Structure 1
Amino acid sequence: MTVGLTLNATNAPHQIDASVELAREAASAGLSSVWFGQTFGADSPQLAAIVGREVPGLQVGTSAIPVFGRHPLTVASQALTAQAATHGRYHLGLALGTKLLTEGGFGLPFERPVARLREFLSALRQLTETGEADFRGELLTAATPMPVRVPGADSGVPLLVAAMGPQALRASGELADGILPYLAGPRALEQHIVPSLTAAAEAAGRPAPRVVALVPGVVTDDVDSVREAATEQLAFYEQIPSYARVIGLSGARRASDVAVIGDEKAVAAEVRRYRNAGATEVVFSLTEIAGAADRRRTWDLLGDLAKEGASTS
């Protein structure tokens, strides 16, 4: 099992420079991957490409680009460029998106999201593996009158999906390389998410998918105040049906109840629970709400756990 974290430097005076510095700190702590979210700010594949270029050896990823408001041709171009820039260390995450951001931001109807995801993945797989496509679906077309190739991006691009619902898990098992569930605790992973995903992959004759569990977590002695901050920051997700469902399946009431907050011993035990529940990788988020000392404690522990996973794999 590998261990990584999400990086969010949107409050820094210079987001790109700050992201590179944070990634260097993460690598020096022994972490194996860093991931960047995608909203309406920095372009996450570009950011991952820059960071991966500046910090050799570190795996970099996007988690995750919504399929609404994008097209497989442009996303393939971005992903292949990032893959070439990092010499094969880039991982592309896709998401269904949300009704709130799709309709409020792009002015697009949030309709048939899983069908769109299926078509997006089908076209994108062709483009990233061969540089060409002739895909004509119900919802989108992706054809290449000229190739979508980036010399140097020879290893393809791992495709992952922020999937947690039954239909999205089925599509991901059949068409993607893995998933990026967020706010899905060990119970939800073990009892619902991993079995559905694995069954879909097996039925499609595909290899066992990766399960990159994104986990909000901080190592701290000030558990109450950090959890209070987490409750405020994560409340947004409680209004999104897919997240509300998986929070409930995790045996939690609030999103912050899923957060892993405590001292080194407590946090390490929870990370191992994710591993035992079927996570192939654990990626921590939320350390931006911690002070510098707690952030360093968190990263040092995750680095130690990454080494532990490497020694037992």
Structure 2
Amino acid sequence: MNDVVSVRRAIGLTIPIAGGGLAGLPDVVATAAEAGITEVWSSESNGADAFTPLAVAATAGRRVRLGTGVAGYLTRGPALLAQSAAALAELAPGRTAIGIGSSSYPMVQGWNGIPFDRRVARARDTVTFLRQAFAGGTVRGPFETITTRGFRLARVPGEPPPVLVAALGPRMVELGLEHADGVVVNWLSPSDVDGLLGGRRDREVVCRIMVCPATDPQRLRDGLRPLFAGYLSVPTYAAFQRRLGRGELLEPMWRAWAAGDRAEAARCVPDEVIDDLVVHGEVAACRDRLRSYLDAGVTSAVLAIVGPDGGPAAPPWPELREMVAGLAAPARENVGSSR
């Protein structure tokens, strides 16, 4: 049976913003909405968790969409994840999306002491668990990786939020497109999107994109090289970039990283890769580049603002307003292929 889904062209912003506290998020969201931002998405690493910033943002009184980008499903039990998601959906009914992800080996096993394994099966089980919980009945499965008995949400969302899966590998992409409501992706260029999705345009595709409206490209590239070397040497991200066709370009960086020479690894990050994966330059050029992501099939382009030196930065609101003008469009219904 064919599915009818809402396809949007949205512009999001990563929160919390650099240098800003959680208490100030309602003002940030209000300013962002006035600048043309239609969604805010959290991030989760070693700072704020995925849900608290969005709960604070929900008090801004603006009808922006709130999305977890992403909440770890290996570091949370499924019942707790369902409770947190349902609470957020209650705060912003009809304006919530739940992105879940495995995170990475250092965060899951290194920091939390939890095995970083069976990630695809656990993601599938978590999507099933959340959907059954959001429907209001007792969660029954069947499950491959979850042992649960008798859980039922006491506060069921009036409108169940979509569940998206953070996807790098082909199995996760397939899971997000076939079993969930879409995917959350990052570290890819507009030209990578169609191949990653296999040409499909019937699911949500949330893409976090580093953005810097600055005019000194070499300063920006040099500032970003250590970040690129660190991230793209994580095995899951390295495999992702190989599948996208950047293996030859990044091989010198990976060799230096494996040898323990972090400085040399950073020096080996090619300008071409940074220019592929970061939106930067004059405001008009940034706007055109963001439009190319949306034209390629991204439904939510989520901006992660970096400064001229490559570090996290607060949004430059006047430039941001000009950059996103006319890019967002209301959701439209689209008939997709069967799951």
TM-score by length of 1: 0.85
The RMSD of aligned alpha carbons is 2.6
Q: Which residue of 1 aligns with 2:240?
A: 246
* Aligned twin of 2:300: 281
| Alignment equivalent of 1:265, drawn from 284, 289, 293 | 284
- Which residue is 1:58 aligned to? 64
Within 5 A, what are the aligned runs for 1:122-161?
122-145=128-151, 147-150=152-155, 153-161=157-165
Shift of 1:291: 6.0
1:228 pairs with 2:236: no
- Structure 1 residues 144 and 40: alpha-carbon distance in aligned structure 2, compared to 1, 3 A threshold: farther
Residue from 2, 6, 9 that aligns with 2:10: 2
Contact between 1:135 and 1:143, CA under 8 Å: does it hold in 2? no
Q: Give 3-state SS (helix, strand or coil) of 1:130's partner.
A: coil
Q: Which residue of 2 aligns with 1:202?
A: none
* 1:299 equivalenced with 2:320 (yes/no): yes
Scaled by the length of structure 2, the TM-score of the pair is 0.79
State the AA in 2 paired with 1:267: C
Task: In structure 1, list runs of 5 or more residues that go unmatched.
Answer: 199-206
Whether 2:33 is the aligned partner of 1:27: answer yes
Q: Deviations over 1:155-180 (max 9, x none)?
A: 10111111121110111122211111
Q: 2:121 maps to what in 1? A: 115
Task: Letter of the 1:213 partner, please give it.
Answer: C
Secondary structure of 1:229 counterpart: helix
Structure whose CA Rg is larger: 2
Segments of 5+ residues of structure 2 without an aligned counterpart are 1-8, 251-268, 334-339
Partner of 2:204: 210
- Distance in 2 (alpha carbons) for counterparts of 1:312 and 1:99: 38
Letter in 1 for 2:235: P
In the other structure, the counterpart of 2:112 is 106
Q: CA deviation at 1:214?
A: 1.3
Following superposition, the deviation at residue 182 of structure 1 comes to 0.5
2:47 paired with 1:45: no
Contact 1:226 1:290 in 2 (8 A): no
CA distance in structure 1 between the partners assigned to 2:317 and 2:54 by the alignment: 22
- Contact 1:219-1:297 at 8 Å conserved across structures: no
1:218·1:298 contact (CA, 8 Å) conserved in 2? no
Residue 187 of structure 2 aligns with an amino acid whose one-letter code is L
Q: 2:174 aligned with 1:182, yes or no?
A: no
Moved more, 241-250 or 257-266: 241-250
